[in-house]
Amino acid sequence: MLPRFLRPGLAPLAAAALLAVAAAAAFAHDDHHPAQSAQTAEESAFLAENDAAMTKMMNDMAAKPSGDIDRDFVAMMAPHHQGAIDMAVIELRYGKNEQLRRIAQEIIVEQRQEIDAMKLAIGDPVTASAPAPTQPGPAPAAAHDHMNTSHGMKN
């Protein structure tokens, strides 16, 4: 039997996710990237947290089928959106470009709203969200379960 992410109905989602992972890996391992040779502790922390967020997202997207297509969709999309939130939080922790930081803030708000809307559509409860932590610390992707009903991030 094919792994869940390789089944025909999930091919576009899996392809997009794998493309994102490949692009991140290529960027992180590009020997010709000028910052690679002079990587700072901050850059290393950024890359490590981003890698953890991507790994968590990919693992959580491999949800076991429930027999309900709508629930399965939400079970896969919620961690996908949470992964975007986690990466945006990491940008807020380490990024310096104010335009990108503003976009990251918008991603957090919009993706949380979409997760809530999907959960409400299938009758799942939505809990109040907490402010996203932006101070360096444990990677949020490794510190909590994306599939719970809380959107608060622990730091």
In the structure, what pLDDT confidence band is assigned to residue 153 with cuts at 50, 70 and 90? very low
**CA 129 from centre of chain:** 16
Measure the CA–CA gap between 56 and 140, rounded to whole angstroms.
10
User: Could you report the per-residue pLDDT of 10-64, keeping only the tens digit for each?
Assistant: 544 444 444 454 445 445 444 445 545 578 999 999 999 999 999 999 999 998 9
Measure the CA–CA gap between 11 and 16, rounded to whole angstroms.
8
User: Could you report the per-residue pLDDT of 117-148, keeping only the tens digit for each?
Assistant: 999 999 999 877 666 666 555 544 443 443 33
* 15 vs 92, higher pLDDT: 92
Average pLDDT over residues 148-153: 39
Contact 132, 108 (CB under 8 A): yes
Q: Tally the C-alpha atoms within 13 A of residue 44's C-alpha that lie toward its C-beta.
A: 5
